[in-house]
Amino acid sequence: DLISIDRFLSCLRDRMSGPEMVSADLEQLVGVIRQQAAEIMNLRQELVHFRAEINALHAEAAGLRAECGSLRSDLTALQADHDDLAAATVPPAEPVRQNPPVSHPKISLPDKWDGSGTKCDVFLTALNLVFEFQPSRYPSDRSRIALLTSLLTGQAAEWATAVLKADGDVAHSYPAFTSELRAVFQHPESEVEVDSRLYHLKQGSRSVSKYATEFRTLAVQTTWSNSALRTAFYEGLSTRLRDELAVRELPDTLEGMIQLALRVDQRMNHNTKTVFRSFTGATGYHRTPEPSTSYAVAASPSPPPIASEAHSTGVGEPTAKTTAELILEHVVRLHGFPQDIVSDRGPQFTAKFWQAFCRLVGTTSSLSSGFHPQTNGQTERANQQLERFLRCFASEHQRSWASYLVWAELSNNLHTSTATGLSPFEVCYGFQPPIFEHQEPEVEVPSAQQLVRRCRRLWNHARAAIQKTNRRYIVQHRRRHPPGRLFHVGDRVYLSTKNINLKTDSRKLTPRYIGPFKITHRLNPVTFRLQLPASLRVHPIFHQSQLKPVFFSPLSPQAPAPPPPRIVDGGPAYTVRRILDSRPRGRGTQYLVDWEGYGPEERSWVPGRFILDPALIQDYRRRVSSTPGP
């Protein structure tokens, strides 16, 4: 303060009042000090004033802070009330899901195309899929045209090069470029052509899957109804598959029909193929499963024929087309279209032309059983009678025997049957026509009378020869063919090996009968279906003359059952007795295996990779190498 300063200056003046300091200088120093002291006092007062204002501001801030706390409390309470009310009225919102970034699938480019064939649509459709799912890689029309051009070869590449060199509007627009490409190289079929292809489409030897694929492709291009497509698909199936579908309930839709045909075809292929299963650690082989059960349909057959009327004509080795023309000329024009034609398995009757001809005229073609001509006995008898007749006349008429066929035919058709007492002519037309009058009227032309007499003599000679032959046939047949044994479903029978190739070293030492086999179906009183192993590879339907019953007696015990299979790696394994033969198949070799405890009918071809015992193959090769050549 000022009092302290004045005291300080008085002390300073007393001490410096000596000669070392002048009085004027001292006063000047005191004045400066006083001035600085006044300034300090002013600053001190301002500082005090500022401190008071700061304290006031602190107090005001504390009040505002308290007010803000009160408002925050009120706001928190209001927010809590609002949340409770919202939770009671509105369900909680689901969190927003962020879709992951879309990744374009990798689609391979189509194969290169040279502009030939009908694959233009396939080629462009594959390219459009690439552009649709990979738009970032080919964003512009020029990039798409460049990719398309790089996949063209041959004439198509030459055309694209010429278009790009011209540098017109087509070279800068992908839709215009593809339109020009279609106009140049695509020649679409008309609706009539597609309908014709679909109508004539047949399965043939293909699988049902391949046939269905082509059928679906053509069906998309037509306007046929579902019923028409279903019928066309069924008619195009193979005869074997339609026979299997005949015992099932057919679906009402095309897709259902296709799926049913696929299942049946897979089942039939599975039954006809030999299934090989691997085995380890022992000499054996997994046998194939038993063939699937066959089905028979009860039907009302046509009445059996009561008489056979024969038509004879001279012809060489007929083809299927020639046979159809002969049927039209000699049978259809006289009797109409037959309901069924029974024939042997000659090439003209198994040809596709003959099958198509019978299907178009509404006639079924029935092929006789192999090695059993009795299936079509009436035709065989007619052929035998014609043969006897020709022998009678061929010796006397070496060059004109064909002209006498008409008399052989007439004699056969006028011959009275011992079973019915009627002739075929009388059965067909209701009367027996007169041949020659007992008393010849007088005529003015002697040559005509001589012709009639010669015809009567020839007819009587032919009739006597045929009657004599028929009587001899009846006696021989009854002596050599006694009534056969009546078999039933479930019986076990032996099968004759006369017409079966068992692949044995000596035909003379081959068993005359193999089996026994179980009868699964009785197709007619003399024809039966047997349950045969798949390795036998023969048709399972046989005439009763090829069968022999199995008898059991204490004096003749039943043959021992085959040894049971051993279980190797969870599957049955069968022991191999020896290897009989070998053959190359593809890149490997198959061996004909004789199974231990089984007959020759069970032998089957096995790939060499399934025979793990090397001693069997070595023994077979040693026996083959030691066998002298021819």
Residue environment code for 292-309, b if the CB has 16+ CB neighbours within 10 A, otherwise e: eeeeeeeeeeeeeeebeb
* Rounded average pLDDT over 187-210: 79
pLDDT digits (tens, 9 = 90+) for 34-89: 888 888 888 888 899 899 999 889 988 888 888 888 888 888 888 887 777 766 65
308 vs 339, higher pLDDT: 339
Q: What is the pLDDT of residue 431?
A: 66
23 vs 374, higher pLDDT: 374
Greatest extent of the chain over all pairs of C-alpha atoms, in Å: 216
Q: Tokens in use for 34? A: 């006083």
Quick check: 420 pLDDT over 70? no
Quick check: 277 pLDDT over 80? no
With H, G, I as helix, E, B as strand and everything else as coil, classify residue 18: coil
Radius of gyration of the chain (CA): 55
Burial of 591 (0-12, 13-18, 19+ CB in 10 A): buried
Q: How far apart (Å, rounded) are the C-alpha atoms in residues 184 and 158? A: 12
Q: What is the pLDDT of residue 297?
A: 34
Q: Quick one: pLDDT band at residue 583, thresholds 50, 70, 90?
A: very high
Q: How far apart (Å, rounded) are the C-alpha atoms in residues 206 and 104? A: 38
Burial of 162 (0-12, 13-18, 19+ CB in 10 A): exposed
| Share above pLDDT 90 across residues of the chain, in percent, rounded to a whole number | 2
* Rounded average pLDDT over 157-166: 84
| CATH 1.10.150.120 assigned to 566-626 | no
Q: Quick one: pLDDT band at residue 530, thresholds 50, 70, 90?
A: very high
What residue type is 357 in one-letter code? F
* Cα distances (angstroms) measured from residue 12 to each of 20, 25, 469: 13, 13, 186
Q: Tokens in use for 403? A: 């002209």
Quick check: 417 pLDDT over 60? yes
Q: Tokens in use for 249? A: 């309930």
With H, G, I as helix, E, B as strand and everything else as coil, classify residue 155: helix
pLDDT digits (tens, 9 = 90+) for 280-328: 333 333 333 333 333 333 333 444 444 456 666 666 678 888 888 888 8
For domain 320-438+445-480, give the CATH number: 3.30.420.10
Calculate the CA dihedral of residues 344, 346, 348, 351 and round it to 10 degrees. 100
* Rounded average pLDDT over 614-629: 81
Q: What is the pLDDT of residue 286?
A: 39
Q: What is the pLDDT of residue 95?
A: 52
Q: How far apart (Å, rounded) are the C-alpha atoms in residues 274 and 268? A: 12
* 516 prior amide bond cis, ω within 30: yes
pLDDT digits (tens, 9 = 90+) for 437-493: 544 555 566 677 777 777 777 777 777 777 788 888 888 877 877 666 788 898 989
Q: What is the pLDDT of residue 76?
A: 84
- CB-based contacts of 403: which residues, under 8 Å, 6+ apart? 397
Q: What is the pTM of this model?
A: 0.28
Following DSSP, what letter does each residue of 379-424 receive, concatenated?
A: HHHHHHHHHHHHHHHHTT-TTTGGGGHHHHHHHHHHSPPTTTS--H
Least confident of 148-162, 169-183, 396-410, 542-556: 396-410
